[in-house]
Structure 1
Amino acid sequence: MSSPADASNWRVLAFLAGMVALWTILCAVSHRAPDLDGMEELVWASSLELGYYKHPPLPSWFMYGLTQFFGRPVWLTFLGAQLFSALALWFIWLLGREFTTPRLAFMVMLITSTCIYFSLRGTIYNHNTVQLWSIAAATWLFYRALRYRKPTTWVWLGAVSALAVLTKYSAVIQFAAFFLFMLRQGSLRDTRNLRGIAWALAAFAVVIAPHIYWLAIHSFQPLRYADSSLAASGYADAYRHILAFTLDQLARISPMLVVWMGWALWHRRRPTTDRSNENKGTRPSSYAGALSPWDRSFLIWVGLAPFLSTVLVSAAMGTRLVASWGTTFFILFGFYALWKMRGDERENLRRIAVLVIAVQVLMAVGYAVGRGPLAWYTGRDTRSMFPGALIAQEMNAVWQKHVPQLPLRLIVSDTWLGGNIAIHTHDDAQVLIDGRYEESPWLSKETALDCGALVVYSRKTKGDPSPALQALYQSGQWQGLAALPWSRPSSPMIDLHWAVIPPTESCRGR
Structure 2
Amino acid sequence: MAFSADPIPTPAASAAGRPVVFYVLLFLAGMVALWAVLCGISHKSPDLDNMEELVWASSFEWGYYKHPPVPAWFMYGLASVFGKPIWLTFLAGQLFSALALWFVWKLGCEFTTPRRALIAMLLVSVTAYFSVRATMYNHNSVQMWSIVASTWLYYRALRYGRASDWLWLGAACGMAFITKYSALIQFAAFFLFFLRQGHWRDRAALRGVPLALLTFLLVIAPHVYWLFQHAFEPLHYADESIVPGGDPQFSVMSDIWGFLTTQLGRLSPMLVAWIALYAWNRRAASKTAKTSAPTAAGAAAPRYAQELSAWDRSFLLIVGIGPVVLTVLVSGALGTRLGSSWASTFFVLFGFYAYWWLRGDEHAMLRRTAIVIVAIQMLMAVGYAIGRGPLAYYTGRKTDSTYPGKQISLQMQDIWHQYVPGAPLTLVVADTWLGGNIAVHVRPSANVFIDGSLRESPWLKSSDPTRCGALVAYSTADHSSGPSPAVRRLYEQAPYKGVLQQRWSTQKSPMIVVHWGIIPPQPDCPARPAH
In the alignment, structure 1 residue 142 sits paired with structure 2 residue 159: no
In the alignment, structure 1 residue 259 sits paired with structure 2 residue 273: yes
Aligned to 1:499: 517
Aligned to 1:299: 316
Aligned equivalent of 2:136, options 124, 137, 149: 124
Aligned to 1:185: 197
Cα contact 1:481–1:497 (8 A) shared by 2 = yes
Deviation at 1:413, TM superposition (A): 0.4
Deviation at 1:440, TM superposition (A): 0.4
CA distance in structure 1 between the aligned counterparts of 2:296 and 2:435, rounded to whole angstroms: 69
CA distance in structure 2 between the aligned counterparts of 1:324 and 1:184, rounded to whole angstroms: 29
- Aligned pairs for 1:353-392 (under 5 A) are 353-392=370-409
Aligned to 2:72: 60
CA distances 1:171-220 after superposition (whole Å, capped 9, x unpaired): 00100000000100000111211110000001111111000000001000
Aligned equivalent of 1:467, options 485, 507, 514: 485
In the alignment, structure 1 residue 195 sits paired with structure 2 residue 207: yes
CA distances 1:238-287 after superposition (whole Å, capped 9, x unpaired): 22211110000000011110000100011111129899x98534321101
Aligned to 1:479: 497
CA distance in structure 1 between the aligned counterparts of 2:256 and 2:490, rounded to whole angstroms: 41
Aligned to 1:489: 507
Cα contact 1:385–1:486 (8 A) shared by 2 = yes
CA distance in structure 2 between the aligned counterparts of 1:388 and 1:279, rounded to whole angstroms: 69
Deviation at 1:236, TM superposition (A): 5.5
Aligned to 1:50: 62
Structure 2 CA distance for partners of 1:281 and 1:347, relative to 1, 3 Å = closer
In the alignment, structure 1 residue 97 sits paired with structure 2 residue 113: no
TM-score when scaled to structure 2? 0.94
Cα contact 1:248–1:323 (8 A) shared by 2 = yes
Deviation at 1:490, TM superposition (A): 2.6
Aligned to 1:108: 120
**Unaligned runs of at least 5 residues, structure 2:** 1-13
Structure 2 CA distance for partners of 1:248 and 1:427, relative to 1, 3 Å = farther
The letter of the residue matching 2:310 is: P
**Unaligned runs of at least 5 residues, structure 1:** none
CA distance in structure 2 between the aligned counterparts of 1:478 and 1:281, rounded to whole angstroms: 85
Aligned to 1:313: 330
The letter of the residue matching 1:446 is: S
Aligned equivalent of 1:214, options 216, 219, 226: 226
Aligned to 1:453: 470
Cα contact 1:23–1:123 (8 A) shared by 2 = yes
CA distance in structure 2 between the aligned counterparts of 1:278 and 1:382, rounded to whole angstroms: 61
CA distance in structure 2 between the aligned counterparts of 1:137 and 1:318, rounded to whole angstroms: 31
The letter of the residue matching 2:220 is: I
TM-score when scaled to structure 1? 0.97
CA distance in structure 2 between the aligned counterparts of 1:375 and 1:44, rounded to whole angstroms: 28
Q: Which moved more, 1:188-197 or 1:51-60?
A: 188-197
Aligned to 2:356: 339
Deviation at 1:427, TM superposition (A): 5.1
CA distance in structure 2 between the aligned counterparts of 1:190 and 1:8, rounded to whole angstroms: 35
The letter of the residue matching 1:269 is: R
Structure 2 CA distance for partners of 1:455 and 1:330, relative to 1, 3 Å = same
Cα contact 1:433–1:439 (8 A) shared by 2 = yes
Question: The residue matched to 1:46 in structure 2 has which SS?
Answer: coil
Aligned to 1:159: 171
CA distance in structure 1 between the aligned counterparts of 2:281 and 2:145, rounded to whole angstroms: 32
CA distance in structure 2 between the aligned counterparts of 1:124 and 1:151, rounded to whole angstroms: 36
CA distances 1:402-429 after superposition (whole Å, capped 9, x unpaired): 1112111100000001000001013531
Cα contact 1:84–1:129 (8 A) shared by 2 = yes
Cα contact 1:235–1:315 (8 A) shared by 2 = no
CA distance in structure 1 between the aligned counterparts of 2:74 and 2:372, rounded to whole angstroms: 33
Deviation at 1:447, TM superposition (A): 3.6
Aligned equivalent of 1:421, options 425, 428, 438: 438
Structure 2 CA distance for partners of 1:470 and 1:3, relative to 1, 3 Å = same
Deviation at 1:463, TM superposition (A): 2.1
In the alignment, structure 1 residue 69 sits paired with structure 2 residue 81: yes
Provide the identity percentage. Answer: 56
Aligned to 2:21: 9
